[in-house]
Amino acid sequence: MIIRDAALNDLEQIVNVHFFAFPEFFLTSLGRKFLKQYYKIYIKYSHIAFVAEKNGVIEGFVVGSNDSTVFYTDLKKEFLCFIFPMITNLFNFNLLSKIFKRVYSVLFKKKINNSLKSYDELNELTSIGVISNDQNRGVGSLLLAKYEQYCIEQKVKGITLTTDADKNEKVLRFYRKFGYSIDQSFVQDEKRAMYSLVKYFKD
């Protein structure tokens, strides 16, 4: 097993892992083409993207950014590439309403929940996933350790991420073991209870 930088020709496999790791998530419902464009931003614009590869097969990935404002600017630059993948969602009104809320908040830099504290000085880990059959074998730990090592080398103060508050004990335990703690809770899409976790690095 090696943990290495993700490359553009890994995108198909990264999307495969995403489908296994996040079957019920909002981004998953936007479809394969959308996800490919989304993960491409991390690689093309040199944000952070590592993959875990064994015998040529990608078993897991982790992505994030040192500056989410820069990430959203890069996302806007690629806006046209997202239009075609979105067309297939045009008749799913529930999904469309969620998409509009998120696009609005990205384009106008508005937070969906204004009372939420932001973490401008922290790195944001946006997604870590391991293919279902390969979970609980240490792949996620290797990816997270590599991600943290990179952040420390970049001299960032710490890492933040969001994850589900309900029915997510395994993932919460995984992060707790790595030293992450719950910093705030909020509700996403009117019903999904979420936590913001943070970990600060020592100077």
Ligand X SMILES: CC(C)(COP(=O)(O)OP(=O)(O)OC[C@H]1O[C@@H](n2cnc3c(N)ncnc32)[C@H](O)[C@@H]1OP(=O)(O)O)[C@@H](O)C(=O)NCCC(=O)NCCS
23 touches ligand X (CB under 6 A): no
Q: How many residues bind ligand X (CB under 6 A)?
A: 18
54 touches ligand X (CB under 6 A): no
Closer by beta carbon to ligand X, 4 or else 173: 173
Closer by beta carbon to ligand X, 3 or else 99: 3
Report the C-alpha gap between 183 and 185 in whole angstroms: 7
* Region of 26-34, 86-94, 128-136, 147-155 interacting with ligand X (CB under 6 A): 128-136
Q: Which residue has the tokens 């990430």?
A: 71
Which of 107, 137, 145, 189 forms a contact with ligand X (CB under 6 A)?
Answer: 137
Would you tell me the crossing angle of helices 11-21 and 32-44 to the nearest 10 degrees? Answer: 120
Residue 130 contacts residue 138 (beta carbons within 8 Å)? no
63 touches ligand X (CB under 6 A): no
Q: Which residue has the tokens 């996040």?
A: 22
177 touches ligand X (CB under 6 A): yes
Phi, psi of 130 (to 5 degrees): -130, 140
CA dihedral 91, 97, 100, 105 (to 10 degrees): -160
Six-digit token string for 131 = 């293919």
171 touches ligand X (CB under 6 A): yes
3 touches ligand X (CB under 6 A): no
Sites of contact with ligand X (CB under 6 A):
21-22, 128-130, 135-141, 161, 163, 171, 173-174, 177
